[in-house]
Structure 1
């Protein structure tokens, strides 16, 4: 027995040692010396207490090569996963369940656009040389180190990263902004199948001349029941392709700049917190880059060498999403005698057909036939082609504009004047971004960056367009001067929060904008002339959990609720709700009750008309946020009637049903005692890793859960989808940054999880608790402070 136990103990020790050695081989190396090919001189990388690298090189090319190396150390799997998603190559490592996602991304034609884009780049430009050096650094790391754990689990083979991969990631970014896939089929269905009265709550003009014909005997395009089913399937696929893969999706954002005459320090202040789907690792990789003539503390995205957020002692900028509609869906009219032809400008035109092979783990490759009309790629081919189905083409600015986005961000990383920042912003054409800028000289500015198409008069691109008409035509693009923008406004501040912006020409800019409530809340506070702003006050602004949305929606319903709610305990909850200011601290009961009621009200009014599939699609769009307050205020809306019953329900009837369902669900889910219905218990954040969707791997790779304050469309925009309690948070501030240009060396920041994406690394989740608690950390900038806070030093030397 002793021998058996001894052998068993030795086996356990050997296994533990083996696992330890294996995991240790996967960890980043942040101490010592490493030789790199193609370096002209040595590069010093000092890692601070959060694992942020501070790189100092003798020239910019060495600097970017070193950045690629250290970025890969911490984020190689993220780089691999995001390029595979963008290029439609996930099924090769994740199997048949990702085949539809791959088909979707192949149908977007990001791969082909990336190939053409890279072929046209100037090989002598500084931006190209920087990109090549950065990719070389990534590839040198990959070639010389053990593959990440995720590579081993999924059976991923190493292969070089290329410029085409980097541009494909830019395409993924542009796609993740595009709300058209989810919204346009839905709005067209409401318009054409339900009618004008049902469209009213969405605040969209009724365009009877734009209705897609319902029969082939009418002119225009016919959409059959199978087409609506496929369009909704496409809408759901475009949502799930982002939600299911543990990768960042760009959703919204806050940013503001405050002029020196409104600040305590007398210098401009800059604040920003882009709203992005939470993931492990988080989207941003912090790094300080230093070389003769160049200094920047930046936040970088995987496979992109230039910071998308950044600052130094002289200037800085943040981003929000413009959310302009840069993607049109177009229903093509098919020749009844030739299914490979569509009607275009007065004649039948052949579709172009190509085939691609998609590698699928565990089975034979799948052939995907892709078609293209003169309007663009046929996007519903992602669902498979079938005779008689209406082809739906896609016009997308990412495919159709020059879009020198790499050059734009290369220049923005060096834009120490308003003029330079403006010129850089003009080069960002897709996706549309708001660039909010400030500098130590005293300037503040904002530019809505996009190349905006000229559509024919009267065309409403929020609906599927008729390909047999001139609706999809583009008459060129507006000049950048017509884009919304401001420089040094008299009011002394600029705020950008995804609300609809105004062009200096007054022209309409179609888009899928967020409600104004969040921006109005920020604007109310920033406009207070009695406040002299500093970073402490800006922290409170970023962490705010209040807007007027909840009380605004409830106002017309409170009299109705008082009529239909009779239970004394429920009446007490109702009166508490009537006094609720619309805030979302962890201990709020009214916030929990309101959000449950919001779902049940939505469910009781809209599901019966839309059906389950389109209803779920609606919950993933931005238009639902604007529709619900309008619905609440419209006592005669046809949505109140439940089509599933013979009676005609009134608003009071449906509100009563929603209230009772809300109370019942909260009692079942959170307990009979309403004192336990605390927001923090029902609203939680878990940072999900791509492998964390599989049990029991979630215990190893995911981070959380944490009780989360805030909610959808408050400044601290920790958002969960409309639904029944409990509410898992899906997206929110991807970082929080605050800079006072009187002391830009002491900016504030935070990462939602940690700097490293390597499981079991000490920086994998070391900021997660501080983030959810609303804490900030200081970003080290000066050489003295970097030295004082250095925990390890890595020396990169030219290979001998």
Structure 2
């Protein structure tokens, strides 16, 4: 027995030592020295207390090569999965369940476009050279170090990262902005199958002629709904960043306590592990920038230094049109285009599938763009639906645009840089230390024929689907040094200086109005403290707008004193989604039930589920509750004719039943923080027990859908999982940018078991901020380790 126990102890000890060695071998190297080929001079990388690298090089190429190396050792798996998603290569490592996602992204044409784009790039441009050096650093790290643990678990084989990979990831990001895929099918269904009385709640122009000369068949609608659902699922379940909205504002020195401009920004992106942004300070003589970088991108998407700072929000312009093609009855491979039958172009691609046979694809495209029905494989519909997408149709020198923005200390330089960003649409909010603030909507806006509403599927056989060129950048919404002394950007619809129409899928105005209400108070001098309070504000005026018309109906629906007390809470509630709020829980459950009882019978389950995943519903619900005569109130599944009061009563009763069944019979226990939680999900954490190793959370989450502190969830029944929110919070006072503060939602590192994997998660949920060290003295004072990268002799 002794010998057995001794042997067992030795085995356990060896296993533990082996496990510890294995985990240690995967960790980033943050001190000592490492040889790096192609360096012209040594590079110093100082790591601060959060694991942020501060890179000091002697020239630009060395700086970007070193950055690629350190970025890879913290985020290599994120880079790998991002390029696989964008290029339709996930099934090769995750199996046949990802074939549909791969087929979708192959159909979009991102892979094909990126390959051609990379071949055509001007290799003499500084931005291209920066990218090449950065990719060389990534590949050198990958070639010389053990693969991340996720590579081992999934059996991923290493392969070099390329320029086409970077362009592909940019395509994925652009696609994640595009709401048309998920919105146009359901709006077209409402228009063409239900009619004008149902469409008007969406605040869209009515076009009675329908999509085509003859209506789409039921099988076509089935296709469109499946495409919308596939698009939504592919983005939601990938476990990777998806852009959703954002806040940003710039305040001029006349309105700040310091007398210099102040910049605030918190882009709203789907939460994930690792977090979307990788922080790094990059410097060489003549250049210094503290930036927030995306995977496989050498230039910062957000950044600041002592001279200037900027943030971004999503423009939400509609840069993707769905177009129903007219097929030649005599030749199914031809469609009608500008007065004649034209051939569909075809190409073949192969999806490699882990532990299964490869899947062969035949993908088609018309003159309008890729035929997206092909994303479904065995499509049931007969009408090809093409996709015109600005990302595929513009020159889009976005890398060059951000490269220049990283160096833009003046208004004119910033404006010129932003003009190069053509897709996806972004708002760039900018400030500098000399006192200027500016905002430019960056996008290449297409000229559509007069009267065309791209919120609906367009007729490919008519001129309405044609593009008449693009508007000049001067037509884009923009402001520089406005007299009011501040600029707000929060995804609401903006106005062109030349009054052109800019179709889009804009967010509710409430969040922007809430921020504007505070900034408009001329008695306030803005600093980091009150700016932080504004970023963390959890209130919204949306509940009052939605509830006011139906409060009497809710009072009539309340069944007892307990329910009457809850209705009174809603009537008096200021919309503040605090962790303790019961009203927030009741309201969000009621929103879902009003939508379900009002709309699901007309739309059917599939289209209703797609609608509640769009911004269109946010706009529709207050208009619905305000219209007592709306056709939506009648339930088509009953013989009776329901009205607003009876439908609201049914929604209230369903809300009470669900909350009691889910949360218990005592309303005081229905607190928002118990029902509204955030878990940061890792791509491998979707399977148990890996969730315990890779996911971070759950955390009780204040705020809610379209509050300034925008911890958003999908409209649905309680409890609610937060899906997206502030991907970072940044505050930069240009009086002393070295005192800028920010926060990462989880941690700087994407390496499991690293000390910086989740070390900021709890502070982030508490609304804390941490310093973003910029000055040499500050960096030196907070350096915890230094890595020396040396040229290979």
Q: TM bucket by the smaller chain? A: over 0.9
Which of these residues, 703, 727, 730, is aligned with residue 710 of structure 1? 703
2:180 maps to 180
User: What is the CA distance between 1:261 and its match in structure 2?
Assistant: 0.2
The 5 A counterparts of 1:335-484 are 335-385=328-378, 389-484=382-477
2:605 counterpart residue number: 612
SS of residue in 1 equivalent to 2:450: coil
* 2:270 paired residue number: 277
Q: Deviations over 1:46-103 (max 9, x none)?
A: 0000000000000010000000000000000000000000000000001110001000
Does structure 2 conserve the Cα–Cα contact (< 8 Å) formed by 1:44 and 1:795?
yes
The superposition leaves residues 484-527 of structure 1 with CA deviations (integer Å, 9 ceiling, x where unpaired) of: 00000000000000000100011110000001000000000000
Counterpart of 1:68?
A: 68
Q: Which moved more, 1:251-260 or 1:360-369?
A: 360-369
> What does the per-residue CA deviation read over 1:336-367, in whole Å, with 9 as the maximum and x for residues that have no partner?
11111111111111111111111111111111
Q: 2:327 aligns with which of 334, 347, 360?
A: 334
Confirm or deny: 8 A CA contact 2:91 2:353 kept in the other structure: yes
**Is 1:496 the equivalent of 2:495?**
no
User: CA RMSD of the aligned region, Å?
Assistant: 0.8
Aligned residue runs from structure 1 range 218-297, under 5 A = 220=213, 222-297=215-290
Query: Is 1:248–1:277's contact at 8 Å kept on the other side of the alignment?
Result: yes
Report SS of the residue matched to 2:77: helix
Residue in 2 that maps onto 1:625: 618
Provide the C-alpha distance between the structure 2 equivalents of 1:455 and 1:231, rounded to a whole number of angstroms: 23
Distance across 1 between alignment mates of 2:379 and 2:480: 53
Q: In the TM superposition, what whole-angstrom CA distance separates every residue of 1:616-667 from its partner, at most 9, and x where no partner exists?
A: 1001100000000000001011111111111111111111111111111111
1:434 aligned counterpart, secondary structure = strand
Q: Work out the CA distance in 2 between the residues paired with 1:564 and 1:173.
A: 45
* Farther off after superposition, 281-290 or 113-122: 113-122
In structure 1, C-alpha distance between the alignment counterparts of 2:493 and 2:437, rounded to whole Å: 20
Contact kept, 8 Å, 1:221 with 1:466, in 2: the verdict is: no
Gaps of 5+ in 2: none
SS in 2 for 1:692: coil
- Residues of 1 paired with 2:120 and 2:170: CA distance? 16
CA contact (8 A) 2:557 2:653 kept: no
Q: What is the Cα deviation at residue 564 of structure 1?
A: 2.4
Partner of 1:201: 201
Indicate the residue corresponding to 2:23 in structure 1.
Answer: 23
Q: Is the 8 A contact 1:740 1:747 kept in 2?
A: yes
Work out which of the residue numbers 511, 515, 536 in structure 2 matches 1:518: 511
The change in CA–CA distance for 1:600 and 1:388 in structure 2 (over 3 A counts) is: closer
2:146 paired with 1:153? no
Correspondence for 2:548 among 538, 546, 555: 555
| Partner Cα separation in structure 1 for residue 193 and residue 100 of structure 2 | 28
Q: Give CA-to-partner distance per residue, 1:224-263, whole Å, 9 cap, x none.
A: 1111111111001111111111100000000000000000
Instruction: State whether structure 2 residue 527 is matched by structure 1 residue 534.
Output: yes
2:217–2:381 CA contact under 8 A, matched in 1: no
- The aligned residue for residue 107 of structure 1 is 107
Distance 1:190 1:597 in 2: 23
Residues 462-500 of structure 1, C-alpha deviations (whole Å, 9 max, x = no match): 000011101110010000000000000000000000000
Judged with a 3 Å threshold, the aligned counterparts in structure 2 of structure 1 residues 563 and 408 are, in CA distance, closer, same or farther, namely: same
Q: Distance in 1 between matches of 2:760 and 2:381?
A: 54
Secondary structure of 2:298's match?
coil
| Deviation per residue, 1:428-479 (Å, 9 max, x gap) | 0000000000000000000000000000000000000011101110010000
CA distance in 2, matches of 1:549, 1:766: 34
Aligned length: 793
Measure, in 2, the Cα distance between the counterparts of 1:338 and 1:784.
72
| 8 Å Cα contact 1:221-1:468 kept in structure 2 | no
Equivalence for 1:216: none
C-alpha distance in 2 between matches for 1:510 and 1:363: 44
Matched, 1:57 2:64: no
Q: Distance in 2 between matches of 1:713 and 1:90?
A: 32
Give the secondary-structure state (helix, strand or coil) at the position aligned to 2:713: coil
Deviation, structure 1 residue 387: 7.9
Report how far residue 388 of structure 1 moved: 6.1
How many Å apart are 1:212 and its aligned residue?
Answer: 2.3
> Given the alignment of the two structures, is residue 162 of structure 1 paired with residue 155 of structure 2, yes or no?
no
Give the secondary-structure state (helix, strand or coil) at the position aligned to 1:691: coil
The CA deviation at 1:563 is 2.0
Asked if the contact 1:686/1:728 (under 8 Å) is kept, the reply is yes
Could you tell me which residue of structure 2 aligns to residue 735 of structure 1? 728
1:675 aligns with 2:674: no
CA 405–761 in structure 1, closer or farther in 2 if over 3 Å, else same: same
Structure 2 equivalent of residue 565 of structure 1: 558
Query: Matched residues in 2 for 1:551 and 1:166: separation?
Result: 45
Inter-partner Cα distance in structure 2 for 1:16 and 1:707: 35
Task: Measure the CA separation in 2 of the matches of 1:384 and 1:363.
Answer: 17
Q: Structure 1: how far apart are the matches of 2:218 and 2:148?
A: 47
- Residue 386 of structure 1 and its aligned partner are, at CA, apart by 5.0
TM-score by length of 1: 0.99
Aligned to 1:583: 576
Q: Report SS of the residue matched to 1:45.
A: strand
**Distance in 2 (alpha carbons) for counterparts of 1:91 and 1:566:** 52
In 2, distance between residues paired with 1:248 and 1:615?
25
Partner of 2:5: 5
C-alpha distance in 1, partners of 2:152/2:685?
Answer: 15
> How much does 1:22 deviate?
0.7
**Which secondary structure state, in structure 2, belongs to the residue aligned with residue 364 of structure 1?**
coil
Secondary structure of residue in 1 paired with 2:289: strand
CA contact (8 A) 1:221 1:332 kept: no
Cα offsets for 1:518-558 (capped at 9, x unmatched): 00000000000000110101001100111100111000010
Distance 1:707 1:387, change over 3 A: closer
Deviation at 1:385, TM superposition (A): 4.8
Q: Is the 8 A contact 1:221 1:331 kept in 2?
A: no
Query: 1:143 Cα deviation (Å)?
Result: 0.2
Instruction: Please give the per-residue CA displacement for 1:276-322, whole angstroms capped at 9, x wherever unaligned.
Output: 00000000000001100000000000000000000000001000000
Contact 2:48 2:782 in 1 (8 A): yes
Instruction: Give distance in 2, aligned partners of 1:108 and 1:353.
Output: 13
Give, in angstroms, the shift of residue 611 of structure 1: 0.7
Partner of 1:85: 85
Q: Secondary structure at the match of 1:66?
A: helix
Question: Retained in 1: the 8 A contact 2:219–2:380?
Answer: no
Partners of 1:575 and 1:48 lie apart in 2 by 51
Measure the CA separation in 2 of the matches of 1:639 and 1:450: 36
Q: What is the alpha-carbon distance in structure 2 between the residues aligned to residue 547 and residue 650 of structure 1?
A: 28
3-state SS in 2 of match to 1:296: strand
| Cα offset, 1:566, TM superposition | 3.6
Give the alignment partner of residue 305 of structure 1, picking from 267, 276, 298: 298
